[in-house]
């Protein structure tokens, strides 16, 4: 359903990477009037293995440099940017081969993705040497580009090494075991969550265990310092030895909350009707090996916002204090004028 037969024949990943209960299309939204019950035991659990399949891609039969990924609607009505980035990375990884590991990716979001259409990834090898390989990938739907990415890969080698700064526990952030889950944080406030999103924030529907060090509700317009941190871990053990899968999952996760950091010093909120927010660019640099089924902490800060754009930086740390990745994101943060924003008189 929704996948061209030629792509099905090419061996597309499971057409049900997420249970139907988790694929909340905009067309299904009217049927969710009883969404307050979505977080009950009747909700089907989404496994980490389902997420692994979701961020995978399959080759298009007629070419060796094109791949296809399945879209999933998490309830926002458009494709989650982390999905597109992770699938684009998967396409690059399949093209470059197993001897190389990604060390940096950078992408630009060109338009919102349609959740009802698959995504095609067309790759081009820009350079391929003994130590490094660079690949460009264009993600498109119905011929229209939605994302452009370049990724650089390297064969493993030894070299100089250092890291600056303290890990999350050494700098005084709470341990993940001492924090409530994101679902626990949202549970008392489900009435404020749009029905189409309530399952996304339920304990069963998210294969990642997210634990923010401080809960910033997406409707809270309080002014805060432009800093936050979120612990993350896959809820289920992942297969050992496949570094590429863990890199895709981390890429998928890093699009969560990073831009929101740039909103915190302003009297607005992510779910405010007058706010237009969207990712414009995103990058991830991978420093050291890690596993997504062990605790990681994304420590984020925003040094600047200007011109209707917010900019945020992040560091991803292991629980034992190793810096495993760095992130950056620039996004649109446009607040449309309203009656309450206009000066009196």
| Residue 34: pLDDT over 70 | no
SS3 83: helix
Q: What is the pLDDT of residues 71-101, one digit of tens each?
A: 988 888 899 999 999 999 999 999 998 799 9
Task: Determine the Cα angle at 60 with ends 78 and 3, to 5°.
Answer: 45
Under the banding of pLDDT at 50, 70 and 90, the label for residue 2 is very low
pLDDT in tens, 285-339: 999 999 999 999 999 999 999 999 999 999 999 999 999 999 999 999 998 876 5
Q: 209 - beta bridge partners? A: 233
Catalytic residues: 255, 279, 329
Spatial CA neighbour of 58 closest among 32, 94, 22: 94
| pLDDT higher than threshold 50 for residue 7 | no
What's the confidence (pLDDT) of residue 40? 32
Q: What percent of the chain is modeled with pLDDT above 70?
A: 84
Distance CA 302, CA 258 (A): 9
Which two tokens mark 250? 């981390």
Instruction: Tell me the percentage of the chain whose pLDDT exceeds 90.
Output: 66
244 C-beta neighbours (distance < 10 Å), count: 18
Measure the N-to-C terminal CA separation of the chain; round to a whole number of Å: 57
pLDDT at 120: 97
185 or 1: which leads in pLDDT: 185
d(CA 291, CA 12): 26
Whole-number Å distance between alpha carbons of 284 and 326: 6
């Amino acid at each position: 359903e929704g996948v061209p037969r030629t792509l099905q024949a090419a061996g597309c990943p499971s057409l049900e990477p997420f249970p139907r209960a988790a694929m909340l299309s905009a067309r299904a939204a009217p049927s969710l009037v009883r969404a307050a019950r979505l977080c009950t035991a009747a909700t089907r659990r989404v496994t980490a293995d389902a997420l692994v399949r979701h961020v995978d891609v399959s080759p298009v039969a007629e070419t060796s440099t094109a791949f296809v990924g399945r879209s999933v609607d998490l309830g926002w009505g458009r494709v989650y940017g982390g999905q597109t980035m992770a699938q684009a990375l998967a396409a690059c990884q399949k093209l470059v081969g197993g001897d190389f590991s990604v060390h940096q990716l950078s992408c630009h979001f060109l338009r919102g993705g349609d959740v009802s259409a698959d995504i095609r990834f067309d790759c081009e090898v820009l350079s391929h040497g003994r130590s490094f390989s660079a690949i460009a990938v264009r993600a498109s739907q119905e011929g229209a580009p939605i994302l452009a990415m370049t990724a650089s890969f390297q064969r493993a080698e030894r070299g100089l090494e250092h890291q600056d700064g303290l890990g999350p526990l050494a700098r005084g952030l709470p341990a993940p075991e001492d924090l409530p889950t994101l679902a626990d944080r949202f549970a008392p406030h489900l009435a404020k969550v749009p029905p189409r999103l309530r399952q996304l924030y339920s304990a069963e529907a998210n294969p990642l265990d997210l634990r923010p060090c401080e809960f910033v509700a997406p409707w809270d317009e309080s002014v805060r310092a432009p800093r936050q941190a979120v612990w993350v871990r896959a809820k289920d053990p992942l297969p050992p030895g496949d570094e590429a899968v863990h890199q895709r999952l981390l890429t998928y996760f890093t699009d969560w909350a990073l831009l929101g950091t740039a909103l915190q010093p302003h009297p607005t909120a992510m779910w405010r009707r007058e706010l237009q927010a969207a990712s414009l660019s995103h990058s991830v640099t991978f420093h050291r090996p890690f596993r997504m089924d062990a605790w990681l902490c994304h420590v984020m800060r925003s040094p600047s916002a200007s011109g209707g754009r917010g900019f945020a930086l992040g560091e991803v740390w292991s629980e034992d204090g190793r810096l495993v990745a760095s992130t950056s994101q620039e996004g649109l943060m446009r607040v449309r004028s309203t009656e309450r924003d206009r000066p009196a008189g």
